[in-house]
Chains A and B, each alone.
Chain A
Amino acid sequence: MAAAPKSNDVKTEARPLEAAAIAKDVLFTAILAFIILGPILGLKTFAISGSLALEQRWGLVAVFAAIAAAGRLAYHLLVWQKPQARPSKAASASFLPAISFGKYLVPVVLILAIALPFLPGVDRRVVDLAILILTYIMLGWGLNIVVGLAGLLDLGYVAFYAVGAYAYALLATIYLPAWFGDGIVPWAFFITLPIAGILAALWGVILGFPVLRLRGDYLAIVTLAFGEIVRVILINWSDFTGGPAGIGGIPRPSFFGLPFTDGEGGFAAFFGLDFKPIHRIIFLYYVILVLALLTNFVTMRLRRLPVGRAWEALREDEIACRSLGINTTSTKLTAFAIGAMFAGFAGSFFATRQGFVSPESFVFLESFIILAVVVLGGLGSQIGVVIAAIVIIGAFEVFRELNFLKAVMPAGFDPVQYRMLAVGAALVLIMRWKPRGFVTRREPSVVLKEKKAISTDLVAEGHG
């Protein structure tokens, strides 16, 4: 080796630990595991005729200690030498996929997405799944503005999704018919969509104000609480929101006034087609596709505008921003508002697709999944969100399909029950392997001579 080892870097040098050292370390792991697990697994209390008795299970502890030791051994043999292979910051930039890769990927994916409902072998189930994935892509792109660009960690994003959904549900079932008569109902979706977006944006600003001065963990906690507050209000304000029972009978979307019904005046009759229920599904698919593409287009455009650059600058260094005359208050508020607006759009789409909304749909888990989509994709990356949404939502669905496991595993085993566990484990593994998400390059928003991708190792994650 030509390079002299750095003084405090010896462990990561290409010097595998000798067998004796490994054996010692593995033994130590086993002992440590035994000590830690002893009280947890080794002693079990149970009630016997009104008093507590202790059952000792040292054999079980030994089994688990052995598993820990085996894992440690595997770690030594398989992983330990790896760090020296890790490229330096500068070097990793050159390993980034060329930007031209994206040039071909994007049109191909786009054409596939447009043609999807008519591809052979694509049935209702597939289109339904595609709609679900597109909804999460749209939500991911919306949240990407707040978390990925502006660097503001928002754990309550689902609140804006809820605002959009309830805005459509309430307007379409109660207020629009009351104000303008029943004739308006087929148009309700298109009328309400902008209103839902504006309302959600307004809530974005309402959330934005109190959290302006908060950073990092504190911001995350308050946004988390905000998400819960909105849900609790939806549950408890029964007169207005229908309470836990939610709102049903929400008008389904029409094809610009033509309902998807059998017979006279329906979509199928108007175009001389045979009536099929899938027409509505396909229409919904295109609605969400257009909405998602709109979100993407607007975000890409905003990135090239001063407001988008200010968001990214805010993520990089808030103090420097202020020294350059950027009003960080309004910059943060616009990020919250525009991110929330897209969630509002997605929310009204959700309401019209389901025909039913209830607070059940807007739990923290949803916020978490959307955030996971953004983080896993690579903060700030648009294409990363697409990949991550397909991976995560796809993984959930795959678990529904694993029925053959039921045959192999003991009775009562239901793979669906394990999906959160598996997805959680997958997230941990992916973050271990790719800590900055799938896409680890940032595209510059403006170019003087030659476009070069920036390694996200250099990009700040934001601090609130």
Chain B
Amino acid sequence: MAASGQDALLRVEHLSMRFGGLTAIGDLSFTAARNDITAIIGPNGAGKTTVFNCLTGFYKPTEGSVILTHEDGKQFLLERMDDFRISQQAKVARTFQNIRLFAGMTVLENLMVAQHNTLMRASGFTVTGIFNSPTYARANREAIEFSEHWLEKAGLVDRADDAAGELPYGDQRRLEIARAMCTKPVLLCLDEPAAGLNPRESEDLNGLLLNIRNEQKIAILLIEHDMSVVMGISDHIVVLDYGVKISDGSPAEIRSDPAVIRAYLGVEDEEEAEVVVERAVAAVAKKPAGKKVAAKKPPARKKGGRK
């Protein structure tokens, strides 16, 4: 159900990113619809994180454009905006592959920092806030309530006053998502949120992401190696390999060959996966399910289509 034309929330057009001689992304185009979970998958080094970095302004793409359209019709050319303005104005929030929390601050403080811009305005850019003006006091209370709301959703209320760095890994992942949501985004970009989670935590994460899409009506862009997450919740999948899009479609299309289902949901062995993938209509990530932490050995790659 790839959103077509003008209705798309995000349109990536002919995006290229080169680092010296290395083409991390080559002429990539895809769209993400409103209220959809769009997954970007591909083997290690395919350029998925680089796509996120281009979308969120951390890299300036070599070529191409990234257009975000708000519901009211307002358009943002993300490739031309500063990273912090993309979050502030275009309302794109993200998480990081290697979690970036404010480890020495409490869980609640992490979420309050995410509401910086709202609170900054309410505090009269500090001038009236320093005298605890009623406007600021109210905004502060509301911000705490909003944080609490997201803490409940992420199942972290009991840890609200603990340092973020003390949380177990799975909690840190969910806290980072909650923190991103506290910026009140229209598009949430998640870089491998299920990495390192156990199956139960992974299940909880699915619930959280579906809740974000269904109840909050927020689109999600998801990078993930865990096929149970990808196939379970995404509406639309883009497959990258060596920075080039090799497939794009609904999960049903991506796994139209029943063997692909087996490959991504059950096959433990990389060799077998490779055989399966060769037979697949579209090649997708080469990481067998259940092996979630990024493996150091080179991933299995499909034959052909290599430079």
Contacts and interface: CB of A to CB of B under 8 A. Distances in A.
A141 to B, nearest CB: 16
Interface string A375-388: 00000000000000
A313 B94 contact: no
Interface stretch (B106-114, B210-218, B236-244): B106-114
Nearest to A304: B140
A317 B100 contact: yes
Q: Interface SS of chain B: helix, strand, loop or mixed? A: helix
A326 B104 contact: no
A307 interface: yes
A39 interface: no
A319 B100 contact: yes
Contacts of A327: 84, 88
B165 interface: yes
Given A325-B84, A452-B161, A459 B109 contact: no
Interface string A66-91: 00000000000000000000000010
B58 to A, nearest CB: 7
B108 A447 contact: yes
Interface in B269-286: none
A448 B16 CA distance: 45
Contacts of B101: 316-317, 320
Contact of A312 (B102, B136, B161): B102
Interface stretch (A235-243, A423-431, A438-446): A438-446
Interface residues of A, number: 42
B126 A307 contact: yes
A446 B163 contact: no
Interface residues of B, number: 50
Interface stretch (B60-68, B116-124, B223-231, B256-264): B116-124
Nearest to B114: A324
A460 interface: yes
A331 to B, nearest CB: 9
Contacts of B84: 321-328
A310 B113 contact: yes
A302 B125 CA distance: 11
A444 B100 contact: no
A313 B113 contact: yes
B11 to A, nearest CB: 21
A11 to B, nearest CB: 27
A401 to B, nearest CB: 40
A454 interface: yes
A239 B147 CA distance: 58
B112 A448 contact: no
A454 B106 contact: yes
A321 B112 CA distance: 12
B160 A448 contact: yes
A460 B213 CA distance: 34
A301 to B, nearest CB: 5
Nearest to A310: B116
A88 to B, nearest CB: 12
Most chain A CB atoms below 10 A, which of B86, B94, B151, B161: B161
B100 A309 contact: no
Nearest to B119: A306
Contacts of A313: 102, 105, 113, 116
B236 to A, nearest CB: 24
Contact of B161 (A298, A444, A458): A444
B87 interface: yes
B116 A325 contact: yes
A456 B163 CA distance: 10
Nearest to A380: B104
B123 A447 contact: no
B7 interface: no
Contact of B103 (A307, A310, A460): A460
Contacts of A447: 106, 108, 161
Given A316-B105, A319-B100, A458 B163 contact: yes
Nearest to B91: A325
Given A301-B130, A324-B87, A306 B161 contact: no
Contacts of B180: 323-324
A302 B127 CA distance: 10
Contacts of B106: 444, 446-447, 452, 454
Contacts of B165: 458
Nearest to A331: B116
A24 interface: no
7 contacts: A307-B123, A313-B113, A319-B58, A323-B87, A324-B113, A324-B179, A449-B161
Given A306-B120, A310-B113, A444-B109, 20 more contacts: A305-B119, A305-B123, A305-B136, A306-B112, A306-B123, A307-B125, A309-B113, A322-B83, A323-B84, A323-B96, A324-B93, A324-B116, A326-B84, A326-B116, A327-B84, A327-B88, A447-B106, A447-B161, A458-B103, A458-B165
Top-7 shortest CB links A-B: A459-B104, A325-B87, A325-B88, A316-B102, A306-B119, A448-B160, A320-B100
Interface of B: 56-58, 83-88, 93-94, 96, 100-106, 108-109, 112-117, 119-120, 123, 125-126, 129-130, 132, 136, 144, 147-148, 151, 157, 160-163, 165-166, 179-180, 183
